[in-house]
Amino acid sequence: MTESSRRPIGVAVLGMGNVGTEVVRILHENAEDLTARVGAAIELRGVAVRDITRWRGVDASLVTDDPASLVVRDDVDIVVELIGGIDLPRSLIRTALEHGKSVVTANKALLADYTGELASAAADAKVDLYFEAAVAGAIPVIRPLMQSLAGDTVTRVAGIVNGTTNFILSAMDADGDDYDTVLAEAGRLGYAEADPTADVEGYDAAAKAAILASIAFHSRVTAADVHRQGISSITVDDLESAKKLDCTVKLLSICERFVDPDGRERISARVYPALVPLSHPLAGVGGAFNAVVVEAENAGRLMFYGQGAGGAPTASAVLGDLVMAARNKVHGGRGPLESTYASLPVAPIDDALTRYYVSMRVADRPGVLSAVAGEFSSRDVSISTVRQEGAGDDARLVVVTHRARDVALSDTIEALQDLDSVLSVSSVLRLEGTDE
C-alpha cells in the first residue's frame, strides 16, 4: 500500500495556548515530511479552544469549544491534550483512551498524580499514552529512561527541570534583576505555568521529579512524595554569597535510589534551591534551559541538555510523540507500558544525605565559634569550612558542612536559633554537586 493510499491519521488538539498553537503550526508546516515518516498523512480533525469567538488561528470549521465532543469522534485517532490543569484533562484523557484513541500530553501536574490510572486505561484499550513534553520540554528524557536505559539500573536522576525558575535565578545572578520583573518576562515568553506559583514554589519541578523517579526506579512516586521547596525566598544577597563560595544557586530536582541503614532499598525525591559549584556542569545551565544528569550502573553518567520550556521547544517533543503514536496506528505495535514492578518506598527528606550552607548573624564576642561548632558536633554533623565576615553589629559566620542526614542538619539549625550568641540565621541552603 502506498503512503498516499493509506487511511490518514486523524488528530485533535485540545488547548491552543503557547504549546497547542505551535503544535498546529508544525503539523501544517511539516505535513509532507510527517506523512513520509509516519507512512500516512496526519490530518488535523479539530482543535478545542476556551473562547470560540476570539479564535482566528485555524480554519473555523475545525474549531470547537467543546473538547469532550472531539475526544469521542470516530475520525479522531490521536488526542493531544494541551489545556493544563487536572480535572478536565483527566476526564478528557480517560474518555479518549476508553474510546481507543492514543493520547499525547504535556501535562506533568496531571501525570504526577494520575499516571497509574491513565496508563492502565491505555493498557486496557491497547493504545498509547505518551508524555515526553511533560518533563524538560524539548529534551528527550522520558524516552531514554523508558527505552534506551531499560536494560540498565538507574541510580540517580538529578537536574534543572523548571525553565521559569532557572530563567529567574539566572537573571537575578547576572544582572541583580528584580524577581517580579523577571517572572513577568518568563510569563510573556511562554515559559511560566498559567499560575506561576506552580513554578516559583517548586510544584512544577516536584511533579516532574515524581514522573522521573517513577520511570527511573520502576515504582510509583506521586507529587506528594516529593519534598518541595521553591525559590521565592532566594534573594540577590544569597546569590552574592554563593559567588563568594565559587557557587551559584539552582532549583534542583533530585531523585535517588539508596540503601538505608537497615539495608532496605528506598527512593529519595526532593526539590529545593541549592548551591552548585561553578565548576559543575549544572552551574552553566542558564535562562530557560534545563539539564538532567542520569546515573546508571553500567552506562555511567549521562547528561541531557536543552530548552526546557516555551511553545516551540515543547511542541517539538509533542510532535515526536505524535509521530510515534501515529506510526503505531499505521503499522501496529505499541509504546512501552508503565513499569512499577520494583515498588520501592519513598523515604522522607529527613533520611536524605545532604550538605548545608548556613549563614548567621552572631554576637561579636569570644566563645561564639565554639558554641556554634558544638551544636553541629553534638549531632554528628561534621563542618567542612567556617568563615567569619564583618565585625561588631555586622558579624556573620558562614558554615558549610559535610554530608549528613538531613534531619540532623535541620535539628542543628533549630538549636542554633536558640543560642544567645546567634542573633539570627539569615540563610540556609543545601549544597549539591560535590562528593564530600
Ligand X SMILES: NC(=O)C1=CN([C@@H]2O[C@H](COP(=O)(O)OP(=O)(O)OC[C@H]3O[C@@H](n4cnc5c(N)ncnc54)[C@H](O)[C@@H]3O)[C@@H](O)[C@H]2O)C=CC1
Q: What is the DSSP string of 303-352?
A: EEEEE-SSHHHHHHHHHHHHHHHHHHHHH----PPP--TT-PPBPPGGGS
Nearest to 18 by CA among 83, 96, 102: 83
Contacting Na ion within 123-142 (CB under 5 A) = 132, 136, 139, 141
Label the pairing between strands 42-48 and 9-14: parallel
Question: Can 208 be counted among the known catalytic residues?
Answer: yes
Tell me which of 193, 201, 295, 432 binds ligand LTNE7NMQ, using CB under 6 A: 193
Angle between helices 18-29 and 311-331 (to 10 degrees): 60
Q: In angstroms, rounded to a whole number, what is the distance separating the alpha carbons of residues 36 and 127? A: 22
292 binds Na ion (CB under 5 A): no
- Tell me if 108 is assigned to a ligand binding site: yes
308 binds ligand LTNE7NMQ (CB under 6 A): yes
Piece in contact with ligand LTNE7NMQ (CB under 6 A), picked from 70-78, 186-194, 327-335, 413-421: 186-194
Dihedral in degrees, nearest 10, Cα atoms 64, 69, 74, 76: 50
Residues that bind ligand X (CB under 6 A): 14-20, 48-50, 67, 82-84, 88, 106-108, 133-134, 137, 190-191, 193-194, 309-310, 314
309 binds Na ion (CB under 5 A): no
Label the pairing between strands 422-431 and 289-296: unpaired
Of residues 317 and 399, the one with the C-beta less far from Na ion: 317
Q: Tell me the sheet residues that pair with 247.
A: 277
Q: Which of 101, 126, 208, 243 is catalytic?
A: 208
- Tell me if 16 is assigned to a ligand binding site: yes
Q: Tell me the sheet residues that pair with 166.
A: none
Of residues 141 and 358, the one with the C-beta less far from Na ion: 141
Residue 203 Cβ vs ligand X, minimum distance, rounded to whole Å:
11
Residue 123 Cβ vs ligand X, minimum distance, rounded to whole Å:
23
Piece in contact with Na ion (CB under 5 A), picked from 58-66, 309-317, 339-347, 377-385: 309-317
Contacting ligand LTNE7NMQ within 155-174 (CB under 6 A) = 162-164
The binder of 164, among ligand LTNE7NMQ, Na ion, ligand X, none, by C-beta within 5 to 8 A per type, is ligand LTNE7NMQ
Secondary structure (3-state) at 25: helix
305 binds ligand LTNE7NMQ (CB under 6 A): no
- Tell me if 18 is assigned to a ligand binding site: yes
- Tell me if 19 is assigned to a ligand binding site: yes
- Contact in structure between 44 and 24 (CB atoms under 8 Å): yes
Tell me which of 158, 205, 317, 416 binds Na ion, using CB under 5 A: 317
Angle between helices 31-38 and 311-331 (to 10 degrees): 40
Of residues 318 and 431, the one with the C-beta less far from ligand LTNE7NMQ: 318
Nearest to 163 by CA among 253, 234, 254: 253
Alpha helices of 189-310 — where are they, by DSSP H? Answer: 197-200, 203-216, 236-244
CA atoms within 13 A on the CB side of 75: 7
Tell me the catalytic residues: 208
**Residue numbers at the binding site for ligand LTNE7NMQ (CB under 6 A):** 137, 162-164, 191-193, 199, 204, 308-309
Give the residue ranges of the annotated binding site for NADP(+): 14-21
